[in-house]
Amino acid sequence: MAQVQRMSRLLVKTLRDDPADAETLSHKLLVRAGYVRRNAAGIWSWLPLGKKVLDNVSRVVREEMDAIGAQEVLLPALLPKEPYEASARWEEYGDLLFRLKDRKGGEYLLGPTHEEIFTLVVKDQVSSYKDLPVMLYQIQTKYRDEARPRSGVLRGREFQMKDSYSFDTTDEGLAESYRLHREAYQKIFARLGLDYRIVSAVSGAMGGSASEEFLAPAAAGEDTFVDCPHCDYAANTEAVTFALTPVEGAEHPAVEELDTPGTPTIESLAELLGVPASATLKNLLVKVDGEIVAVGVPGNREVDLGKLGEHLAPAVVELVTAEDFEGRPDLVRGYVGPQGLEKVRYLADPRIAPGTSWITGANKQDTHARNVVCGRDFEVDQYLDVVVVEEGDPCPKCGTGLKLDRAIEIGHIFQLGRKYADTFQLDVLGQNGKPVRVTMGSYGIGVSRAVAALAEQHADEQGLYWPKEIAPADVHVVAAGKALQTELALDVSEKLAAAGVRVLVDERPGVSPGVKFTDAELIGVPQILVAGRRAAEGVVELKDRRTGEREELTVEEAIARLSA
C-alpha cells in the first residue's frame, strides 16, 4: 500500500513570485514550488517534496548500477590530505578544495571526488587477478568551493553525486567496464525522462584517455556543445578538433615590414591596412607555470583559455601583465610576431599550418610584417586546438558546419587507465604469478544536478511537470473546498493508495480552489484529480499536467485508470 501525503500536514510553502536572485528556470520553480530553500550561497536544504524527487533519482541510479554488477559502498566525505597530495590534486584543485585542520593540526579536505580513496580501498581489499574485475559506486555529498555558486542547485558548493569506479587487469577489461557504464547511463537518463546527448569530452583534472559527457540541452546550461546536422558527431567545445592541413607549393613574397603606428589591436591593424582580420595572426602571451609562452591563432578568432588550460594541465596558465614586459625588450606589447622569437615557446592552433601566410607583429614598436609564412619564417613548437569554437566551424568527421547549443552536464565517464594505480602502486598477482598493474575507469552522475536539469526541461508557464518515475507523487488529488468534495477526495486518495498509487491530496481547509489549482500546477505531479462540482454524482476530473488534457470520470474509472 502506498502512502497518502496530506497537504495540510506537509512542510511546503509555495511562492507566487520568483526569488529576487533567481536567474534560471529551475532555480525559480524549485524554490517557488517548495522543493528547496537556500541556506547560504551554493548551500541548499531539500524540503520534503524535493527530498522525494532527489531520492527517486537516486533509486533509478542505484537500480541500473546494481543491474550491471556494481556494488554500493559509502566512503567518508571528510578525507585526509595525504592521498590527494600523492596524486598532486591537493595543488591542482587549487581554490576549489575545501581545506581544514583538526585540533592537532592535521590537514583534511571535503571530497570533491574520490578516485584516490577508492584506489586505496581496492588496494587494501584485492590481491589477486581472481578478485577482478570489480565495480564500486557510492551516492555521496561532494564539495567544491565554487567562486560564484549560482543557478540554485545547478551549481552549488555542496551537491549529491553518484561516482563509480571500475578496476580491471587489462585494457580490454576496462573497455568492457566502460561499455557497461555507458549503457547503464543511457538507461538511467531514459528512465528519468531527460533529453540528453552523448558528446566527446576532455578528461581535465580527472586524468585518463577516453572521455564522454552526457549533456541535457537547456538554456540554463553552462556547457556549450556542438553537434553536426549531417553526421553523428557531437562534442563538448573543449574537445572539438581542427585538422592540420599544410599548404604546399604556394609561392610567397619575401617578408615586408609595414609602418603601422597606433595599431596594437587586430581591429585597428585590419582597418589601417584594409584587410580582413582573418588575414592577420594574433599572438597571445600567457604564462605557463611562470614561463612566458606565445599562442598563435587567426586574427578573427579568440583563444579559449579553458581549452588551453586543459591541454597544458596540470601546469597553471595565466595571462601576462604589464610587469611581465619589463626587462624583455624582445617582447613589444601589441606588436609581437612569431618570427625572431628566440626565448619564447610558440604554440599555435592548427589553422596556422605550414605554408600559410600572415600579417603579424614585427617585434618593433608601431611596426607589423606582411608575408610571414609558417614553416619558412617561423616554426611552431606545438600545435593545440585552442580557438573558441564558432557556429559553422567544420565538423571534424564530415566537414559540415557545426551547430552550437547550451546544455547541463549530467554525467561524465572516463577511462582513467593507470594514473591512480601508478600513484598508489595498485598491483594484483597475475595468472603467471607476477604483479599486474590495475587499470581504472571513473564514472559520475550529478544526482542533485539531474533534478535541476529535469526542472529545466519539464516546465511551462504554470510550473513543473515531472516525469512519473521521479515525481514526488503519482497523482495530486484536489478537493475544491466543500465538505462533500473533501470527503470524496480523501476517500479516493485512500483507495488509490491501497492500489499502490502514491498520492498527494490537497484537503487544506480555508484555502480557495484557485490557490489549490495554482499550487497543483506549480508542484507538477503528473496527474491532477479534482473532486469538484460533480462530486455529489461521484464524478471527478482527471487532468494530465503536461498536456493539459482533461477528462471527467467516475470515481471507479479514475481509480482503474490511475492504478493500471
Q: H or E stretch including 244?
A: none
Mean pLDDT within 422-442: 96
Residue 275 above 80 pLDDT? yes
Q: Which of 130-134, 339-343, 439-443 has the lowest mean pLDDT?
A: 339-343
Indicate the pLDDT class of residue 564, thresholds 50, 70 and 90: confident
**Confidence (pLDDT) at 205:** 47
**Confidence (pLDDT) at 341:** 87
516 by Cβ neighbours in 10 Å (0-12 / 13-18 / 19+) ranks as: buried
- Distance CA(212)–CA(104), nearest Å, equals 42
**Confidence (pLDDT) at 206:** 46
How wide is the angle at C-alpha 306 spanned by C-alphas 300 and 311, nearest 5°?
A: 100
Asked if residue 201 lies in contact with residue 238, where contact means CB atoms within 8 angstroms, the answer is: yes
Percent of the chain with pLDDT over 70: 99
Mean pLDDT within 535-562: 96
Q: Give the model confidence (pLDDT) of 311-369 as tens digits.
A: 898 888 999 998 999 888 889 999 999 998 888 999 999 999 999 999 999 999 999 99
**Confidence (pLDDT) at 208:** 53
Mean pLDDT within 475-500: 95
- Distance CA(196)–CA(188), nearest Å, equals 11
Q: Which three cell numbers stand for residue 403?
A: 551547430
Long-range contacts of 241-246 (CB under 8 A, 24+ apart): 241/350, 241/385, 241/396, 242/349, 242/350, 242/351, 242/385, 242/387, 242/393, 242/394, 242/396, 243/350, 243/396, 244/350, 244/353, 244/383, 245/350, 245/353, 246/353, 246/354, 246/355, 246/375
How far from 256 is each of 62, 247, 369, CA to CA, in Å?
67, 21, 5
- Distance CA(421)–CA(217), nearest Å, equals 35
- Distance CA(233)–CA(228), nearest Å, equals 5
- Distance CA(295)–CA(301), nearest Å, equals 12
Residue 83 above 90 pLDDT? yes
Residue 76 above 60 pLDDT? yes
Indicate the pLDDT class of residue 203, thresholds 50, 70 and 90: low
Mean pLDDT within 187-202: 93
Residue 404 above 50 pLDDT? yes
Q: Give the model confidence (pLDDT) of 12-54 as tens digits.
A: 999 999 999 898 999 999 999 999 999 999 999 999 999 999 9
The two beta strands, 527-531 and 539-544, are antiparallel
The 3-state secondary structure of 150-204, one letter per residue: ECHHHECCEEEEEEEEEEECCHHHHHHHHHHHHHHHHHHHHHHCCCCEEEECCCH
Sheet holding 357-364, edge to edge: 256-259, 367-373, 357-364
Residue 204 above 70 pLDDT? no
Percent of the chain with pLDDT over 90: 85
Indicate the pLDDT class of residue 477, thresholds 50, 70 and 90: very high
β-strand partners of 138: 163
Mean pLDDT within 475-497: 95
Q: Give 23's Cβ-side CA count (13 Å radius).
A: 11
Mean pLDDT within 248-256: 90
Q: What is the mean pLDDT of the chain?
A: 94
β-strand partners of 235: 200, 226
